[in-house]
């Protein structure tokens, strides 16, 4: 989606536009929330939109988007994955249905931290909702942690956009750079953890 389209939607529909764009951003990660939120903060300087009203609208939109992806995860379910892994795909990926049960148990123990901190990392902040749904992580807790993380993210970005004024696009560029670095670091950590886990599993067997 073109940046100018995002700006037009916010200009024309106000809080409703903000909520809609953020909901879509949560479902389709390539749409940058940094741009939406920073511009929202900037436009509060010259429009009837208030900072706190914008934060509320953005948070509502984010939770709607997160709930949709959680529902997608519930549709996939651990049971469906286990059926898939009990066949050809399990052999190809070298995974067993029991591995999915262990992953689900791990997420249920540490899922709150994953959901909360995942809200600060591009792409991950959207996709983290799917494993939460798949593993049956309690929806109430999921919403609480999602709201907390999202509220912080939205508040920071909107205030950054407001304080930056006309320079908001430059600040967004810096934030996007940070986001890419954070994503790369997180992926490396996940890969290392997976390799360590596989090694321990092979050693035991």
How far CA 94 is from CA of 58, 99, 118, 205, in Å, comes to: 41, 10, 27, 13
pLDDT top residue among 115 and 28: 115
* Mean pLDDT (whole number) for 109-134: 79
Q: Lowest-confidence range among 7-16, 65-74, 134-143, 196-205? A: 196-205
Does the pTM surpass 0.85? The reply is: no
pLDDT top residue among 93 and 134: 134
Place of tokens 């898939």: 84
* E strand map for the chain: none
Q: Are 104 and 138 in contact (CB under 8 A)?
A: no
Residue 128 has pLDDT above 70, yes or no: yes
Q: Are 21 and 61 in contact (CB under 8 A)?
A: yes
Q: What pLDDT score was predicted for residue 61?
A: 94
Q: What pLDDT score was predicted for residue 93?
A: 47
Q: Are 136 and 74 in contact (CB under 8 A)?
A: yes
pLDDT top residue among 54 and 187: 54
Q: Which two tokens stand for residue 80?
A: 């469906």
* Mean pLDDT (whole number) for 41-65: 90
Helix (H, G, I), strand (E, B) or coil at 122: coil
The Cα–Cα gap between 93 and 124 comes to 22
**Top-confidence range, 87-101, 155-169, 173-187:** 155-169
What domain count does the chain have?
Answer: 1
Domain enclosing residue 143, as ranges = 3-204
The Cα–Cα gap between 55 and 38 comes to 11
**pLDDT band, residue 147 (cuts 50/70/90):** very high
pLDDT top residue among 87 and 34: 34
Give 87-90 contacts, CB < 8 A, sequence gap 24+. none
Angle 51-85/33-43 helices, nearest 10 degrees? 170
The Cα–Cα gap between 57 and 85 comes to 41
**Top-confidence range, 9-13, 38-42, 48-52, 188-192:** 48-52
The Cα–Cα gap between 60 and 119 comes to 14
Q: What pLDDT score was predicted for residue 182?
A: 55
First to last CA, the chain: 49
Alpha carbon 146 to chain centroid, angstroms: 9
């Amino acid at each position: 989606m073109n940046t100018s389209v995002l700006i037009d939607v916010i200009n024309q529909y106000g809080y409703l536009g903000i909520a809609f764009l953020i909901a879509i951003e949560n479902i389709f990660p390539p749409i940058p929330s940094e741009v939406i939120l920073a511009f929202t903060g900037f436009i509060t300087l010259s429009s009837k939109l208030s900072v706190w009203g914008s934060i509320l609208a953005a948070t509502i939109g984010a939770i709607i988007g997160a709930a949709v992806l959680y529902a997608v995860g519930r549709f996939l379910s651990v049971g469906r994955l286990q059926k898939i892994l009990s066949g050809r795909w399990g052999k190809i990926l070298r995974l067993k249905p029991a591995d999915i049960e262990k992953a689900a148990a791990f997420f249920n123990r540490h899922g709150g931290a994953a959901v909360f901190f995942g809200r600060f990392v591009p792409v991950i902040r959207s996709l983290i909702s799917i494993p939460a749904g798949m593993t049956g992580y309690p929806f109430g807790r999921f919403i609480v942690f999602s709201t907390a993380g999202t509220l912080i993210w939205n508040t920071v970005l909107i205030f950054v956009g407001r304080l930056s004024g006309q320079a908001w696009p430059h600040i967004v560029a810096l934030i996007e750079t940070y986001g890419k670095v954070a994503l790369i670091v997180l992926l490396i950590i996940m890969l290392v953890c997976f390799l360590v886990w596989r090694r321990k599993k092979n050693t035991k067997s």
